[in-house]
Every structure is written in C-alpha cells, then in structure tokens.
C-alpha cells in the first residue's frame, strides 16, 4: 500500500484506482435491492495488523476515489485550469488527488499512521455503479431507471465495501460538503463501528437556499433536450449545455462574493472597453464560467450530477432519524465529532455546524467545533489545507489506534 | 391625467398604457442610430402649468410601464402567484402596477403633488421598441440583430420621449435596481435637467458575483436550442426552458437566505416523506421555482431578458464617465441624491450605495443615504413600501416645485 516511489515529501506517490464487486445486493432506502454494485477505491498508507487504523474519506458532489497521490493513468480530459481549486473536488489534470494536500505522510490524514481509504460514491460515474452503469435487466445503461439513492445508501455501500475488505471498524470517517454528510450518516447508522467523524463545511440538512440552487442546477440539465429523459447514453448526444449551466451555478455558490471581487473584479477580457456583444463573454468572470462549464462536461456524467444533487438535498438527519429532532437523531452516536466550518461559506454556513455542536453537547457527546475565518467560501474545504491540518491532526492524535 | 374612478384611497385608479413614436432616431452608445423607436408609457397625477412637477419612474429588469393603478386591460397571463412580491417588477395578474404601493395620492411618489411618468425601457417587450419589434430593414422582428443597448441608451430614449411630451426638467428620477442605475445615469448625462434622484437597491457598477449570476441566466437562455441564435420569433418555438432557468436564478438572488428559510423551510410538498424522484419537485421551494419559471415565460420575451441583463452588467459609471474613477464620473452631478439600501440585499448590497455616498460627499454634493434593516433581500425595494415612504416623502418635500 506504500507508494512505489516518493514523488515529493508528503506525497503518497503514484496510485491507481482499483475496483471491487460487492458480493451481495445493496438494500436501498427506496426499497429496491441494487445488484451488482462495483466500488471504485484507492488506499493510502498501511493497514495495521489489528485493522484499527482505517480512515474512510468521502468525497463531495463531483469527486471520485482518487483523493491523494498522482494517478498512474491521468484522466483523459483536463480538469485544471490555473484559476483556482474549484475542480479539485475531482481528480486534477496533473493527476493529483482532490485532497492531496490533506492526505499523505505527515499531513492532516497522516498515512504514516493511518490507512486511508477513499471510494467513489454510489451513483457515481468514476468507477462505482451509477446511472451510466449497465442495468442487468436490459443490458443497457440504467439512465434514469437507476434507483434514487440517498446519503444513507451511499454509506451502506461503503459499509458493505469495507466488509469485503475485511475492515470492521473505522478510526475515522471524514469528508467535506456531501462527504461530511456521509461522515455524519456513518456515525448515526453504525455508531459502534466509528471512533470519530470529521465533518467539514457540511450540514445536517441543506438550507432552503442550497436546496434551491441544487434544484436549479438539476432543472438546467433536465430541460436540456439532449438529456432525453435520462436515456442519452449511446445516442451521441448528452446534456452538456444544461450541465454546463448547472456547473456555473455550482461554482458561484462555492465561492464568496469577496473572493470573486478579488479574483476577477469587473475586469473585461479584451481591451479596456465593452464590445457590445450579447453572445460573447466580456468580463473575465464570464469567461471563467464558460471555461469551467466546458471542462466539467468532459469529465462528468449528467445523470450522476442529478442523482448526487438529489441525495444531498434529501439528506436531513432530523427527518430521517429523529422524527424531526436533530438531538433525537444524534442520540445513538458514539463517535467523537470534529466540526470545521468556514466564515465565508454561505452554501454550507457555520450555523448548521453550530446546530450539530449544540445537539451533541446537549446529549453529552464529545464534540469539537472550529470556525475558520477564511475568505474563499465553500471552496475553503479544498483550499485551506494549512489551517485545517493542525486541527485535524490534534483531533486524530487522541484516537485510539 | 387623474383617475376616472377612485378604486380605493391612495390608488391612481384605472389606467391604460399609451404609446409614443419618437420623431428622431436614438443615437446609441454602440454607434448605431435606432429608428423608429416607440415608447410605452403611463402617467399619474397632473402636470403643473410650469411643468416642474415631473417624476420619472424607471423600472427594473423585467418590469414595464404599468407602475401604478389598475390596468384597464389586465395582462393575458397571470404573473401573480400568492407566494410573494417577486413578480411585482412586472404588472401583477390583478392588473396592479408593479410599484402601486409607492405611487398614488399620499404615497411616496405623491400624485396629488407630482406628475409621475413611467416608461417601458428601450429594448423592452412591453410596448417599447426592442428585439421583438419589427426591423425596418427586413420587416421581420430584430431578434439578435437588435443593437446592444446600454443604460445610457435607455436614458437617452427617456430624454427624447420627455422632449416629445414637452417636458424639459425633472423634479426627480427614481428607480430600484436597474431603475436606480437609470436614475444615476440621468444625473450624470443631464445634470442641469434633474433636480433630484432616488436610487434604491442599486449600484454604480454590479459586483462580479452579480455579473456572474446575470451571465449564467443568459447562458441558460442562449444554450436553449429553441433560442435559435436569437431568431425564434414566428418559428413556433421560444427558449422557454432556458428562460425558466434564468428566472429561477434571478428569484433566488432576489431573496435572502433567511427569507427563504422563513418562507419555505425544508417543507416537502407531499406527505411528510420523500418520494424518491429526480424529475418531480419534492420541496416547496422547488415547486415555487417551477411555478415562477412557468408564469414568467408567458409574459416576458427572452431576448429582452438578454439585452436588459447585458445592459445592467455593462453599467459602470466610473468606467463610462470617470476613466475608472467614480468621483470623477459624478463630478458634474447637480441633483440632490437619495440612496436607499437594504441590509439583506446581497445582489445589490449596501456597500455600493456607501461608495456612491462617499464619492458625492467628497465632491461636496448633497446626498442622503438610508440603510433599511429588512430581511427580504433585493426584493425589499418592492416589499418594504411602508418604510421607504416616509424617507422618500421627506426627501421630495424639499424639492422645488
């Protein structure tokens, strides 16, 4: 599991995504059994003989199993544009994992000590079974016949995957955004199998504004005639236009207004005056959005976007597990919880983290909450590695090994 | 000009939009001359013999000339849905003007004293010449051959229209959002013809986040294949799908996150559990967005949306008139200025109003700035009538009549 070659200090080195077929069907919240289910995964570090040093890292909406190191087979399409880290929730063009700054020897998730496992989530398009996988009933890709999955379904799939790997307990489950939702769901669904959870820039239930942004992104995809009711595979057409708009919406919600000011101001692309054009981008921020949209559609599947966006909108610990009460939902949690929020994150704002903290504290559960004052919005969870690292390392240091 | 029939206390009564063809071409910023130009307008109150009591009211992105009173001919399609005031930037289903709460006897813009004039802006789709008007060169609608207009072009058209009405001076120019941009542009372009300007929930230049939201809305329209490069008139197809998405983006940016919390929370539409559906709206906020999109596309032209959105993104007083300096741009202003901002408006935030205030103050110009603490976001300029009214009445009371 150790890297064959040290690329640089702190890197897990060269890695390759592997695949595992689950032996049993996954029972889903919607009532359906899903089978077969393949899980794409990577591991970094060494599994201890006692198998008690495992950290599961869960990715966000558009991520994948390549969380750290350099991919032996870099992705065909560039996802890196030099503008910032907005594509780092997916493998970068240079083949660097999306959380490479956080996972490795001496890093936040220290592979000298921990065996870090990253999977592509259920419904994904980067190796794990999802809407683009073949439906055994027809032999053709599921498309919109893929069952509507929940965050709990993703977690049950991860549980089954770890079972197949012979891993029973987790020293920690960690993730940002949708990844943090999975971490929380783990602590609730499998309380006696999780020592600690690290929840970053996440929530117990997305606020209505976030629900709305996600709905708008999905509408943009589904209103694209090339979506074809979800059965676009093999037709030579895909809803790239709509998914581009969806990605643009995402990008602006991931950044703060001051970050956009600093990054783009109102700078025009050409010369120093306007060109009186409707169709062409004029401002640098307009060009940036088009560029982001164009690169994203090359690497990501629109149906996976729809399903994942739906799952994170549905996610609501209080509704799912507490009859409307967050405290009741968290009542069975046995893990220690670390919550990290960023002051400028308006999509996953600090308030929701505070609600989780208060609920856990009221229940007498061990919880730590850190609010990091940083300007980049939701993207901070990918950008502010240096400031998260000591907090996470200190928190994990007291985890029994 | 007085209402034929008093509908209720404070109403201007029953009104009908009228139309005026400008005698001369309008010279545009892009260099083209536009001719013919028709202007849709309404007036409320009585023009004084000295013609010195005129207030021009300018509308926002999706508005029209029907600012007050009850339309004699209500619009064919409903734009009112019972959820709120989000469609009040356009005529409501009941035929009530979009700023009826602000214009009338005893109201903020008091028609017992002032002669209030409202026009549909250049590029509009509600009676004033715009992309859906016939191009004299071809006899067919302009579509995307319509020249790209600026806020200054809108103001020059308003100037020419008032000339045709025999009105030289304005006691005030007032507007919210894009309407406020027009008011500022009036003060700069025609300094000796404007006594005062009332600028509400507006800016001297949209911040990059606002530029981005507008770009995304336009992308949604232009990526709809039914847009057909802007020449969809008469084809039986229009980019309704894309414009629906554009409108959804708009709605969420017009409201604050807390307003969405209060209005919708995470309430589900049906029963008290999820239905595992991708395509159908589940949350009330999702249903609201669909409803808003559906009603908007029935009353508004997509090309007008594109042109107007472009104009308000271009608008930049410092770039246009000050070589990059806002102070230099405002140097010639002779009008008194009233600025009103709302604490929760994140699309047109208070900061930009403060920049205008500081610039005018540094120049020794008379300026008043009011920050109203209100929770509804940008929509406040349509909703918070009661709190704006005394501020505006007091400000206008010192206007020479």
Q: Which residues pair with A235 in a beta bridge?
A: none
Q: What is the pLDDT of residue B387?
A: 96
* Residue bearing the bigger pLDDT, A353 or B81: A353
Is the pLDDT confidence value at A1 over 70? no
- Across the strands, what pairs with B119? B41
Does A159 count as an annotated binding residue? no
Which residues of A are catalytically annotated?
177, 345, 378
Q: What is the mean pLDDT of residues B302-312?
A: 98
Average pLDDT over residues B298-317: 98
Read off the pLDDT of residues A47-82 as tens digits, 9 standing for 90 and up. Answer: 999 999 999 999 999 999 999 999 987 554 433 232
Higher-pLDDT residue of B89 and A309 is: A309
User: In this structure, are residues A344 and A256 in contact, taking their beta carbons and an 8 Å threshold?
Assistant: yes
* Beta carbons of B207 and A278 less than 8 Å apart: no
Residue of A272 and B20 predicted with greater confidence: B20
For chain A, the average pLDDT equals 93
* Residue range A322-342: mean pLDDT, rounded: 98
For residue B399, the model assigns a pLDDT of 53
Give the CA distances from residue A240 to residues A230, A302, B217, B248, B317, in Å, rounded to whole numbers and listed in that order. 13, 8, 16, 19, 37
Q: How far apart are CA B95 and CA B93, in angstroms?
A: 5
- Does the beta carbon of B371 lie under 8 angstroms from any beta carbon of chain A? no
Please list, in sequence order, all residues whose beta carbon lies within 8 angstroms of the beta carbon of residue B73, skipping any fewer than 6 positions away.
Answer: B16, B95
Is B102 part of the contact surface with chain A (CB cutoff 8 Å)?
no
pLDDT beyond 70 at A38: yes
Q: Each residue of A23-32: pLDDT tens digit? A: 999 999 999 9
Specify the 3-state DSSP secondary structure of B284. Answer: helix
In the structure encoding, which two tokens stand for residue A26, read together? 């996954």
Tokens of B141: 């609608």
Shortest distance between the Cα of A285 and any Cα of chain B, in A, equals 6
DSSP class of residue B121? P
Tell me how far CA of residue A245 lies from CA of A37, A208, A223, B168, B229, in angstroms.
Answer: 30, 20, 11, 46, 17
User: Could you tell me the CA-to-CA distances from A355 to A207, A318, B268 in Å, in that order?
Assistant: 12, 11, 21
- pLDDT per residue as tens digits for the range B171-198: 999 999 999 999 999 999 999 999 999 9
Spatial separation of the C-alpha atoms in residues A248 and A305, rounded to whole Å:
13
Residue A90 has pLDDT above 90, yes or no: no
pLDDT of residue A399: 54
How far apart are the C-alpha atoms of A235 and A228, rounded to whole Å?
9
Write down how long chain B is: 401
Active-site entry in B11, B132, B177, B256: B177
d(CA A271, CA A285): 15
**CATH top-level class of A14-206+316-397:** alpha beta
In the structure encoding, which two tokens stand for residue B117, read together? 């004039």
CA distance linking residue B188 with residue B194, whole number of Å: 9
pLDDT in tens, B79-107: 323 233 334 456 565 689 999 999 999 99
Question: Distance (Å, rounded) from C-alpha A111 to C-alpha A98?
Answer: 16
What pLDDT digit, counting tens, does each position of B41-78 carry? 999 999 999 999 999 999 999 999 999 999 987 554 43
pLDDT tens-digit series, residues B105-120: 999 999 999 999 999 9
Neighbouring C-alpha atoms within 13 Å toward the C-beta of B319: 17
Q: What is the mean pLDDT of residues A171-185?
A: 98
Q: Where does the pLDDT of residue B5 fall: very low under 50, low under 70, confident under 90, or very high at 90 and above?
A: very low
Write out the two tokens for B60: 């926002």
Averaged pLDDT for residues A191-212: 98
Round to whole Å and give the CA distance between A322 and A318.
5
Residues 25-64 of B with CB under 8 A from A: 29-30
Q: Chain B: residue nearest A249 by CA?
A: B216
Residue A270 has pLDDT above 90, yes or no: no
Please give the share of chain A, as a percent, with pLDDT higher than 70: 92
In this prediction, residue A74 carries a pLDDT of 59
Q: Which of A27, A239, A245, A268 to mutate against chain B (most B CBs within 10 Å)?
A: A245
Ligand-binding annotation for B379, yes or no, is yes
Task: Provide the pLDDT for residue B89.
Answer: 57
Token reading at B177? 């959002």
Interface contact A307, partner B, CB < 8 A: yes
pLDDT category, A400, cuts 50, 70, 90? low
Residues of chain B contacting residue A283, judged by C-beta atoms under 8 Å apart = 208, 211, 215, 313
Read off the pLDDT of residues A233-244 as tens digits, 9 standing for 90 and up. Answer: 999 999 999 999
How far is residue A337's CA from residue A357's CA, in Å, rounded to a whole number? 9
Q: Under a CB-based contact definition with an 8 Å cutoff, are residues A395 and A196 in contact?
A: yes
Average pLDDT over residues A325-350: 98
The residue of chain B nearest to residue A224, with distances taken between CA atoms, is: B224
- The whole-number pLDDT of residue A83 equals 30
Q: Which of B64, B110, B345, B353 is catalytic?
A: B345
- The answer to whether the CB of B353 falls within 8 A of the CB of B368 is no
Coil, helix or strand at residue A397 = helix
Active-site residue flag, B345: yes
Closest-CA residue to A302 (of A249, A224, A379, A211): A224
Query: Residue A273: what pLDDT?
Result: 85
Give the start-to-end residue ranges of the domains of chain A.
14-206+316-397
pLDDT classification of A272: cutoffs 50, 70, 90: confident
Element (H, E) at B327: helix B326-329
Residue A231 scores a pLDDT above 60: yes
Number of residues that make up chain A: 401
């Amino acid at each position: 599991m150790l890297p064959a070659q040290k690329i640089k200090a702190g890197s897990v080195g060269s890695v390759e995504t592997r695949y595992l077929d689950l032996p049993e069907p996954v029972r889903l919240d919607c009532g359906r059994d899903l089978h077969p289910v393949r899980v794409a995964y990577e591991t970094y570090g060494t599994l201890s003989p006692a198998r008690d040093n495992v950290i599961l890292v869960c990715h966000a909406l558009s991520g994948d199993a390549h969380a750290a190191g350099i991919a032996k087979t870099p992705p065909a399409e560039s996802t890196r544009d030099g503008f910032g880290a907005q594509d780092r929730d997916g493998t970068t063009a240079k083949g660097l994992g999306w959380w490479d700054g956080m996972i490795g020897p001496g890093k936040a998730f220290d592979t000298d000590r921990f065996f870090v496992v990253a999977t592509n989530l259920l419904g994904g398009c980067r190796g794990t079974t999802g809407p683009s996988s073949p439906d055994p009933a027809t032999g053709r890709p599921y498309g919109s016949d893929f069952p509507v999955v929940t965050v709990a379904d993703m977690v049950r799939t991860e549980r089954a995957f770890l079972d197949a790997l012979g891993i029973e307990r987790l020293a920690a489950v960690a993730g940002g955004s949708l990844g943090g939702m999975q971490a929380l769901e783990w602590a609730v669904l499998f309380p006696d199998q999780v020592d600690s959870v690290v929840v970053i820039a996440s929530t117990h239930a997305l606020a209505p504004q976030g629900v709305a942004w996600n709905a708008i992104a999905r509408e943009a995809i589904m209103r694209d005639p090339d979506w074809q009711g979800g059965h676009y595979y093999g037709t030579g057409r895909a809803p790239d236009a709509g998914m581009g708009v969806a990605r643009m919406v995402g990008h602006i919600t991931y950044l703060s207004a001051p970050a956009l000011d600093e990054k783009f101001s109102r700078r025009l692309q050409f010369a120093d005056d306007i060109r009186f054009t409707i169709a062409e981008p004029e401002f640098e921020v307009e060009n940036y959005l088009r560029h982001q949209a164009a690169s994203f559609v090359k690497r990501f599947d629109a149906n996976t976007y729809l399903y994942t966006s739906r799952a994170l909108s549905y996610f609501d610990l209080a509704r799912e597990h507490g009859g409307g009460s967050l405290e009741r939902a968290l009542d069975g949690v046995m893990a220690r919880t670390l919550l990290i929020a960023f002051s400028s994150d308006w999509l996953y704002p600090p308030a929701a983290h505070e609600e989780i903290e208060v609920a856990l504290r009221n229940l007498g559960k061990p919880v730590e909450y850190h609010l990091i004052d940083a300007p980049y919005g939701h993207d901070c969870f990918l950008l502010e590695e240096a400031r998260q690292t000591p907090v996470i390392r200190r928190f994990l240091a007291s985890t029994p090994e």
